[in-house]
């Protein structure tokens, strides 16, 4: 079935109307009303002052910063039931990938995630999919030429400010569900006793649409998911200047691997380097409906922080740790007969470290900031590949499957130091200059000195101008990839040799302007990123979900326009981003590519797999008494096709929501929610997969209707 193309009038209606108006949170309601704000006491006043002091340590001067409050998230389709990735796609320049990853300004590289300004180390699973919107009081995306305190990820930083029991009391219980057999019970609670406060949240999700659908059908086969998420934040105010806090998080997610119906390995004719059909243990027949692949991901993290703010000085010292596990287990015989390779991958990552940062206000003109980060990481991968032997002509020589096992373990150290000075010479001008020193030991590491500088001018008339430069140092991914080349088997890679992954370095320039007048804010931002050894990855089939490699050169550039407007009970937002992401020359991991692909990239700049030229988003929210209505839309011009010939079709998705507030138990608010996802029911692919089915296509979910009940207590 071909993807249905959005009709031009509907696209214009979904995207141009929000461009006329834009979004700030409405003045009432939201989660604070549900839980109840605490009256001002010496404890709450101290808590607010320490929150402000913590934010002063990590300013985003000169960078593009986009913020969503919890109220804004609650008012949008899905509310708090979505993960952070779904929240971030409404920000300028952010596009969703079919696998759940986020593409920010054309870059697929990992984002740096922070909770209350403390770094969460990377693992084997994307944190954007693991973190729930329920824990967030505020979510910020910081992109562009970042100040010196942000390092090692050129794509951007996501900073989550958590809810706190120090400022809110009570909780809420929620039941949400609908299409695809989805059901999700959840709760959260905030409370305090004297100087000690607590916030906890937890949820369980069961859905028949766990991973992206492999075709345009409304019902996906073998795609059930079970997901359990939990978070706890505990803090204690020690005195008027100090606070101790502890954060704990967990997630456990299990997925079935979706299948395409109506295929049989005995008659499947997809292209391959070997001759079809294959036979294993005397049989070639295997219906695709019988495939029984599984995937699971688990993550645990803990952060302990001490914050002290006294006069001009503020210091936050933190310890952090994260463990993550990923298991990829395709159907051993069925996948072997269809693709020639069935690989079972089990990966474990553990990281721990310390982060100490501080700010000192040296008079009215200067604020000095400094910090250190030290972390230790360990990754282990167990890969068991099931293949069949073939001769030089690709003919099978035995029907007895071969099991090839490989284990790779690697360690990485990271030590970073930054210094910077925020200088305010007057006339609304702010100069922020700094430098960071990074040393990464282990595979794919190195040492680099990175200067950072930005200029911000708060001009008369509500105009704000900024310009910045940043030198980035991006270590190669720690994941090792396949343990063997599998030559002479059905799992052999296209090439025979490849250089190891290299460190990426970037020069990043960013300029922008913002104008605020009344409830209207208009912002324009442009960027240019020139990379050496640009790191990228393309989706791969079993056993490695994604393959990392370097382009010798990279060039990413673009422009973003965003508008927000709020007036009384109405608010709306819109953004439009246009850009390109291109690379030249395959500089590492060449064995992943066919000779033709390497030759094409050597001649000139080619679009990277994450190069979507135009991305847009927009929406509106309106409050009519106890009723809140909202809608948002996403538009994408389409990613490049896997074979490098042309692009996937443009697409638009419109989501709608209505929330009605009643008086529930004990006169506490009861919210009734109805969400309509993909209201226009457009069927469109986000990724096209590969003809040999090593990687299945990834389609957006069809229209879904969901209902939720949220009772405050």
Structural domain includes residue 3: no
pLDDT at 211 over 80: yes
Q: Of 176-185, 314-323, 637-646, 664-673, which gets the smallest average pLDDT? A: 637-646
Q: List all residues 6 or more positions away from 187 whose beta carbon is below 8 Å from its beta carbon.
A: 171, 172, 173, 174, 201, 202, 203
Domain assignment of residue 427, yes or no:
yes
Reported in sequence order, the residue ranges of 442-519 that DSSP labels E, i.e. its strands, are 446-459, 463-474, 504-517
Mean local confidence (pLDDT), 497-505: 89
* pLDDT for the residue 17: 35
DSSP string, 308-341: EEETTEEEEEEEEEEEEEEEEE--HHHHHHHHS-
Q: Is residue 474 part of a domain?
A: yes
Mean pLDDT of 391-402: 94
Q: 422-436, pLDDT tens digit by residue?
A: 999 988 999 999 999
Give residue 5's pLDDT.
Answer: 42
| Separation of alpha carbons 378 and 589, rounded Å | 22
Assess contact for 374 and 354: CB atoms under 8 A: yes
∠ CA 122-126-132 to the nearest 5 degrees? 110
Question: Is residue 212 predicted with pLDDT exceeding 80?
Answer: yes
DSSP state of 643: T
- In the prediction, which pLDDT does 520 show? 92
Q: What is the spatial distance between Cα 592 and Cα 538, in angstroms, rounded to a whole number?
A: 10
Contact predicate 529/542, CB 8 Å: no
Mean of pLDDT values over 54-77: 83
Statement: residue 575 has pLDDT above 60: yes
Question: Is 135 in a helix, a strand, or coil?
Answer: helix
User: Does the pLDDT value for residue 16 go beyond 70?
Assistant: no
Say which residue, 36 or 86, is predicted with more confidence: 86
pLDDT at 484 (0 to 100): 53
Residue 266 resides in a domain: yes
Position 35 confidence tier, pLDDT thresholds 50, 70, 90: low
pLDDT for the residue numbered 259: 93
Q: For 57-80, what is the mean pLDDT?
A: 84
3-state secondary structure 205-232: EEECCCCCECCCCCCCECCCEEEEEEEE
pLDDT of residue 687: 86
Residue 348 and residue 528: Cα distance in Å, rounded? 36
- The CA R_g of the chain, rounded to the nearest whole Å, is 26
Most confident range (mean pLDDT) of 15-19, 331-335, 534-538 is 331-335
pLDDT band at 689 (very low <50, low <70, confident <90, very high): confident
Q: Which domain holds residue 655?
A: 8-712
Length of the chain equals: 713
Dump pLDDT digits (tens) for 541-566.
555 556 789 999 999 999 999 999 98
Q: Token pair for residue 663? A: 């008086």
Contact yes or no for 275/395 (Cβ under 8 A): yes
Q: Which residues contact 392 (CB under 8 A, 6 or more apart)?
A: none
Quote the pLDDT of residue 19.
37
The answer to whether the CB of 452 falls within 8 A of the CB of 428 is no
In a domain, 195, yes or no: yes
Which helix (H) or strand (E) is 578 found in, with range?
strand 570-586
Measured at the alpha carbon of residue 667, what is the angle toward residues 662 and 671, in degrees to the nearest 5?
A: 30
- Rounded CA gap, 61 and 516, in Å? 18
Is residue 2 in some structural domain?
no
Determine the average pLDDT of the residues in 297-310: 95
Distance of CA 277 to the CA centre of its chain: 39
Listing DSSP states for 652-666 in one string gives EEEEEEEEEEEE-GG
pLDDT, average across residues 269-285: 92
Share of the chain above pLDDT 90, in %: 63
CA dihedral (258, 262, 264, 267) in degrees, to 10, reads -140
d(CA 644, CA 166): 54
65, pLDDT greater than 50: yes
CA distances from 221 to 16, 209, 700 (A): 37, 9, 15
pTM for the whole thing? 0.88
Q: Cα separation of 694 and 387, whole Å? A: 13
Q: Collect all residues with Cβ–Cβ distance below 8 Å to 101 and sequence separation of at least 6.
A: 85, 108, 126, 128
Let me know if residue 162 belongs to a domain.
yes
Give residue-wise pLDDT tens across range 215-227.
999 888 999 999 9
Q: What are phi and psi of 88, to 5 degrees?
A: -70, -25
Q: What is the pLDDT of residue 643?
A: 66
For the chain, what is the domain count?
Answer: 1
Q: What would the pLDDT profile of 516-541 be if each residue is shown by its tens digit?
A: 988 899 999 999 999 999 999 865 55
Q: What CATH number is given to the structural domain containing 141?
A: 2.40.170.20
Average pLDDT over residues 433-453: 94
Predicted confidence (pLDDT) at residue 13 exceeds the cutoff of 60:
no
Tens of pLDDT, residue by residue over 95-117, are 988 767 789 999 876 788 999 99
pLDDT, residue 204, reads 97
Write out the two tokens for 354: 């310390």
pLDDT one-digit tens code per residue, 146-185: 999 998 888 889 999 999 887 778 899 999 999 999 999 9
pLDDT surpassing 80 at residue 27:
no
pLDDT digits (tens, 9 = 90+) for 607-658: 998 999 999 999 999 999 999 999 999 999 999 988 667 899 999 999 999 9
Q: CA separation (Å) from 353 to 58, 118, 191, 373? A: 19, 11, 30, 7
Rounded to whole angstroms, how far apart are CA atoms 39 and 20? 39
Query: Does residue 241 lie within any of the structural domains?
Result: yes
Name the average pLDDT for the chain.
87
Q: What whole-number distance in Å separates Cα of residue 550 and Cα of residue 14? A: 38
């Amino acid at each position: 079935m071909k993807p249905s193309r959005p009709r031009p009038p509907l696209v214009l209606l979904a995207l141009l109307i929000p461009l006329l108006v834009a979004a700030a949170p409405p003045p009432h309601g939201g989660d604070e009303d549900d839980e109840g704000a605490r009256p001002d006491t010496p404890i709450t006043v101290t808590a607010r002052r320490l929150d402000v002091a913590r934010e002063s340590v990590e300013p985003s001067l000169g960078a593009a910063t986009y913020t969503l409050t919890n109220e804004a998230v609650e008012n949008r389709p899905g509310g708090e039931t979505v993960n952070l990735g779904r929240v971030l796609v409404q920000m300028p320049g952010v596009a969703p990938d079919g696998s759940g990853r986020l593409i920010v300004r054309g870059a697929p590289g990992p984002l740096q995630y922070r909770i209350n300004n403390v770094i969460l180390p990377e693992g084997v699973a994307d944190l954007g999919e693991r973190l729930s919107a329920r824990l967030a009081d505020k979510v910020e995306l910081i992109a562009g030429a970042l100040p010196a305190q942000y390092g090692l990820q050129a794509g951007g930083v996501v900073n989550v400010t958590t809810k706190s029991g120090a400022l809110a009391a009570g909780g809420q219980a929620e039941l949400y569900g609908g299409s695809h057999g989805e059901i999700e019970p959840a709760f959260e609670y905030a409370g305090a006793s004297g100087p000690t406060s607590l916030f906890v949240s937890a949820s369980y999700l069961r859905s028949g649409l766990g991973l992206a659908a492999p075709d345009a059908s409304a019902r996906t086969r073998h795609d059930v998911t079970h997901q359990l998420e939990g978070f706890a934040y505990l803090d204690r105010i020690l005195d008027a200047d100090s606070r101790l806090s502890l954060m704990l998080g967990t997630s456990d997610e299990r997925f079935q691997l979706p299948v395409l119906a109506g295929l049989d390995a005995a008659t499947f004719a997809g292209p391959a380097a070997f001759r079809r059909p294959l036979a294993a243990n005397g049989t070639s027949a295997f219906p695709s409906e019988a495939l029984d692949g599984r995937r699971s991901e688990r993550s645990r993290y803990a952060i302990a922080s001490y914050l002290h703010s006294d006069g001009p000085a503020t210091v936050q010292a933190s310890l952090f740790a994260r463990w993550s596990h990923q298991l990829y287990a395709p159907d051993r015989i069925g996948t072997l007969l269809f693709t020639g390779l069935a690989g079972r991958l089990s990966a474990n990552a553990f990281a721990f470290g310390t982060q100490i940062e501080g700010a000192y206000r040296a008079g009215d003109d200067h604020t000095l900031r400094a910090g250190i980060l030290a972390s230790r990481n360990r990754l282990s991968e167990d890969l068991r590949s099931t293949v069949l032997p073939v001769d030089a002509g690709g003919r099978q020589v035995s029907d007895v499957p071969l099991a090839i096992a490989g284990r790779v373990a690697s360690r990485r150290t990271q030590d970073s130091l930054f210094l910077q000075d925020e200088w305010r010479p007057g006339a609304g001008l702010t100069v922020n200059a700094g430098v960071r020193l990074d040393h990464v030991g282990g595979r794919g590491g190195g040492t680099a000195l990175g200067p950072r500088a930005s200029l911000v001018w708060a001009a008369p008339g509500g105009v704000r101008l900024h310009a910045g430069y940043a030198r980035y140092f991006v270590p190669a991914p720690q994941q090792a990839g396949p343990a063997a080349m599998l030559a002479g088997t059905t799992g052999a890679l296209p090439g025979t040799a490849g250089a190891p992954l290299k460190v990426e370095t970037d020069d990043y320039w960013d300029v922008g302007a913002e104008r605020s007048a009344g409830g209207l804010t208009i912002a324009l931002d442009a960027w240019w990123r020139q990379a050496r050894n640009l790191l990228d990855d393309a989706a791969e089939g079993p056993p490695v979900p994604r393959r990392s490699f370097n382009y010798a050169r990279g060039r990413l550039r673009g422009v973003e326009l965003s508008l927000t407007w709020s007036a009384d009970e109405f608010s709306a937002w819109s953004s439009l981003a246009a850009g390109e992401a291109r690379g030249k020359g395959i500089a590492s991991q060449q064995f992943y590519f066919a000779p033709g692909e390497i030759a094409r990239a050597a001649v000139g700049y080619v679009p990277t797999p994450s190069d979507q030229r135009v991305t847009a988003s927009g929406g509106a929210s309106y409050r009519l008494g106890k009723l809140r209505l909202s809608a948002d839309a996403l538009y994408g011009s389409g990613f490049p096709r896997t074979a490098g010939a042309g692009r996937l079709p443009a697409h638009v998705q419109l989501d709608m929501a209505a929330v009605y507030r009643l008086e529930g138990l004990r006169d506490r608010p009861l919210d009734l929610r109805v969400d309509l996802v993909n209201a226009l029911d457009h069927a469109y692919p986000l990724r096209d997969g590969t003809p040999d089915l090593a990687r299945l296509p990834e389609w957006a979910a069809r229209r879904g209707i969901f209902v939720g009940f949220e009772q405050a207590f």
